[in-house]
Amino acid sequence: MLLNLRRRRQRWRRSRPFWGGLFAILAGSWICVLPLAPLKIMLQQGVAGIPSVLMGIVMIVLGLTAWFAPPQRSLAGVLTTLIATAALVLSNLGGFLIGTLLGILGGGLMFAWQPYARDAGKAESAVAAPPPPTPHHDPQGAQP
């Protein structure tokens, strides 16, 4: 039973951009939590910290979108990269660069991910070479 559960989890993880979504969720969490840090650490606090929380929440949602709606991975990857880059300016240097770097990495991984073709070898062997050209047949019996 444990082995079956492990196989199901592995199959689920391979059928979507898991690592890209995970990095986006981590980046969003880091950017989102940073405004709650003590005043000595913060560069912006109060109303100016609202963009940090909003960008963090959006990045978390985009990471979850990559996990639960893999066909939307390209849009989620581009948006995650853009938001992570904007966080560099709008959100305490993008979570002191950690959030921005994690977001850019996660967005790139989401955008670059391709579905795993389980039967790739079978699919390649199933593609047959085109049939050889047949000689031209003229119904009137004339030769070309």
Percent of the chain that is helix, strand, coil (3-state, to 5):
70, 0, 30
Question: pLDDT tens across 108-129, in order?
Answer: 999 999 987 665 555 555 555 5
Distance CA 115, CA 54 (A): 30
Q: In this structure, are residues 66 and 21 in contact, taking their beta carbons and an 8 Å threshold?
A: yes
User: Which comes out higher in pLDDT, residue 131 or 70?
Assistant: 70
- Look at residue 144 and tell me whether its pLDDT is greater than 90: no
Q: In this structure, are residues 141 and 97 in contact, taking their beta carbons and an 8 Å threshold?
A: no
pLDDT > 90 in the chain, percent: 45
Q: What's the predicted TM-score (pTM) here?
A: 0.73
- Look at residue 15 and tell me whether its pLDDT is greater than 70: yes
C-beta contacts of 121-126 below 8 A and 24+ residues apart: none
- Lookup: tokens for 122: 């079978």
Q: In this structure, are residues 118 and 16 in contact, taking their beta carbons and an 8 Å threshold?
A: no
- Look at residue 143 and tell me whether its pLDDT is greater than 70: no
* Amino acid letter for position 110: M
* Amino acid letter for position 82: L
Given pLDDT bands bounded at 50, 70 and 90, which one contains residue 28?
very high
